[in-house]
């Protein structure tokens, strides 16, 4: 009887380990695929350029014709506003070769449909890094002396909000807030 119980316990432990192994395998697969996707995107970004100040009536074929002398073009993307559908005024061009990017950047300042265009190599956005993140709390108020900000501590206690500017926020927190 004791041997049967031990065998059953052993079977139950093995059943518990199987989902963990499957879960770890799936996580590793997802991590590898996301890393390879990022590196593929990064490699495509190294073969791409940003074109700014593009005329709103221009087409992908016209841009392709303008940059055709730089090298073979794989893709032309003109970005549009998702609500109105109108072009935003800039485009991305992906080339087959990395060397074509240098030739295309030399066309910076050239005239396309009556406008001077801006041509730069496309930059790669790193995951987790944001250019719009300035740090701190948006919408904070600064006191007259500039020593205390909304939600910050000054000399061990929270800043006291005074004056007309803080009348609405003054009731939210007492002048002494230890935690």
pLDDT digits (tens, 9 = 90+) for 9-37: 888 887 776 666 666 666 666 665 666 77
Work out the number of other CB atoms within 10 angstroms of the CB of residue 33: 10
DSSP-based helix, strand, coil % in the chain, nearest 5: 40, 20, 40
User: What is the Cα–Cα distance from 135 to 51, expressed in whole angstroms?
Assistant: 30
pLDDT(153) > 90: no
pLDDT(148) > 50: no
pLDDT value at residue 166: 47
Residue 155 DSSP symbol: T
Spacing of C-alpha 66 from chain mean position: 30
CB 140 within 8 A of CB 151: yes
User: What is the Cα–Cα distance from 13 to 107, expressed in whole angstroms?
Assistant: 67
* Ranges 108-117, 147-156, 159-168, most confident: 108-117
pLDDT value at residue 90: 94
Strand partners, 50: 92, 120
Per DSSP bridges, beta strands 157-158 and 153-154 are: antiparallel
pLDDT value at residue 129: 66
pLDDT value at residue 178: 60
Query: Average pLDDT over the chain, rounded to whole?
Result: 77
**Average pLDDT of span 92-107:** 94
Q: What is the residue whose two structure tokens read 């300035």?
A: 134
Tokens standing for 172?
Answer: 């939210």
Q: What residue segments make up the domains of the chain, in order of their start?
A: 1-121
> Which of 19-28, 70-79, 147-156 is least confident?
147-156
pLDDT digit string (tens) for 155-176?
A: 555 555 555 554 455 555 555 5
* Third-level CATH fold of 1-121: Alpha-Beta Plaits (3.30.70)
Global pTM exceeds 0.85: no
């Amino acid at each position: 009887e004791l041997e049967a119980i031990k065998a059953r316990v052993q079977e139950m432990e093995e059943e518990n380990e199987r989902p963990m192994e499957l879960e770890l395998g799936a996580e590793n697969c997802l991590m590898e695929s996301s890393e390879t996707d990022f590196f593929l995107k990064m490699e495509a970004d190294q073969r791409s350029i940003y074109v700014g100040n593009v005329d709103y009536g221009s087409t992908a074929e016209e841009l392709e014709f303008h940059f055709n002398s730089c090298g073979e073009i794989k893709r032309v993307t003109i970005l549009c506003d998702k609500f109105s559908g109108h072009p935003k005024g800039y485009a991305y061009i992906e080339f087959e070769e990395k060397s074509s990017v240098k030739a295309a950047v030399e066309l910076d300042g050239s005239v396309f449909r009556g406008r001077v265009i801006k041509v730069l190599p496309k930059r790669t956005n790193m995951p987790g890094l944001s250019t719009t993140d300035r740090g701190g709390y948006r919408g904070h108020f600064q006191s007259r002396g500039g020593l205390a900000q909304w939600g910050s501590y000054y000399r061990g206690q929270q800043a006291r909000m005074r004056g007309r500017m803080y009348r609405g926020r003054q009731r939210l927190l007492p002048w002494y807030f230890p935690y």
